[in-house]
Homo-oligomer: A and B are copies of this chain.
Amino acid sequence: MAITVVGSVAYDSIETPAGRRERCLGGAATYFSLSASFFTGVRVIAVVGEDFGPEQEAVFKARYIDTRGIERAPGKSFFWEGSYLENLNEAKTRTTELNVFASFEPKIPEAYRDSDFLFLANIDPVLQKQVRDAMPGVKLVAGDTMNYWIKDHRAALERVLKGLDILLINDTEARMIAGNNNLVQAARAVMALGPRFLVIKHGEYGATLFHGAASKNGERTFKAPALPLEEVVDPTGAGDSFAGGFFGYLASQAELTPGAFRRAMFYGSVMGSFACERFGTERLEQLSRGEIDARFQAFRELTHLD
| Chain A residues within 8 Å of B, Cβ to Cβ | 182-185, 187, 202, 204-206, 208, 214, 216-219, 221-223, 225, 227-231, 259, 262-263, 266, 295, 298, 300-306
Chain B residues positioned under 8 Å from A222 (CB to CB): 302-303
Q: How far is the CB of A259 from chain B (nearest CB, A)?
A: 6
Q: Is the CB of A259 within 8 A of B305?
A: yes
Chain B residues positioned under 8 Å from A259 (CB to CB): 305-306
Q: Is the CB of A263 within 8 A of B305?
A: yes
**Which 5 A-B pairs have CB atoms at the shortest separation, nearest pair first?**
A205-B205, A184-B230, A218-B227, A184-B228, A216-B230
Picked from B214, B217, B223, B230, the residue with its CB within 8 Å of the CB of A182 is B230
Q: Is the CB of B228 within 8 A of A218?
A: yes
**Identity of the chain B residue whose Cβ is nearest the Cβ of A277 in the assembled complex:** B216
Q: For the complex formed by this chain, how many copies does it contain in all?
A: 2
**Identity of the chain B residue whose Cβ is nearest the Cβ of A300 in the assembled complex:** B305
Q: A208-B228, A221-B228, A304-B305 are in contact. List 7 more A-B contacts (CB 8 A).
A: A206-B223, A218-B227, A219-B298, A222-B302, A223-B302, A300-B305, A303-B304
Chain B residues positioned under 8 Å from A303 (CB to CB): 222-223, 225, 303-304
Interface of A is mostly: mixed
Chain B residues positioned under 8 Å from A206 (CB to CB): 205, 223
Chain B residues positioned under 8 Å from A185 (CB to CB): 230
**Identity of the chain B residue whose Cβ is nearest the Cβ of A301 in the assembled complex:** B219
User: Looking at A205, A221, A266, A301, which has the most chain B CB atoms within 10 Å of its CB?
Assistant: A205
Q: How far is the CA of A204 from the CA of B127 in the complex (A)?
A: 36
Q: How far is the CA of A206 from the CA of B221 in the complex (A)?
A: 14
User: Looking at A187, A303, A306, which has the most chain B CB atoms within 10 Å of its CB?
Assistant: A303
Chain B residues positioned under 8 Å from A230 (CB to CB): 182, 184-185, 214, 216
Jot down 21 A-B pairs with beta carbons below 8 A, ordered by A.
Answer: A182-B230, A182-B231, A183-B228, A184-B228, A202-B205, A205-B206, A206-B223, A216-B230, A216-B231, A217-B227, A217-B298, A218-B302, A221-B228, A221-B302, A222-B302, A222-B303, A223-B225, A223-B303, A259-B305, A262-B306, A303-B303
Q: How far is the CB of A123 from chain B (nearest CB, A)?
A: 30
Q: How far is the CA of A46 from the CA of B227 in the complex (A)?
A: 40
Chain B residues positioned under 8 Å from A208 (CB to CB): 228
**Identity of the chain B residue whose Cβ is nearest the Cβ of A203 in the assembled complex:** B205
Q: Is the CB of B183 within 8 A of A262?
A: no
Contacts A205-B206, A217-B298, A298-B217: A305 and B228 contacting too (C-beta < 8 A)? no
Chain B residues positioned under 8 Å from A229 (CB to CB): 184, 216
Q: Is the CB of A214 within 8 A of B228?
A: yes
Q: How far is the CA of A110 from the CA of B221 in the complex (A)?
A: 49
